[in-house]
Amino acid sequence: MFLKSDKPEEIVLAILAGKFKEKYKIIKDVIEKITELRKERRKL
């Protein structure tokens, strides 16, 4: 099934959130950790 949309990234996010709710949470945590590391590096 292929979905057509003006915003393909929203479809991808919806599919990822639906299929991999646990993995999505892990990815979100990883992104938060990466942003924290970037903030720490800017302080240095």
* Closest to 14 measured CA to CA, from 22, 6, 24: 24
Q: What pLDDT shows up at residue 26?
A: 78
pLDDT tens digits along 10-32: 777 777 777 766 676 777 888 89
How far CA 41 is from CA of 30, 32, 34, 44, in Å, comes to: 17, 14, 11, 5
User: In this model, does residue 36 exceed pLDDT 80?
Assistant: yes
Q: What pLDDT shows up at residue 5?
A: 58
Using pLDDT thresholds of 50, 70 and 90, give the confidence band for residue 3.
low
Q: Helix or strand or coil: residue 5?
A: coil
Entry pTM:
0.42
Q: Domain residue spans in the chain?
A: 8-43
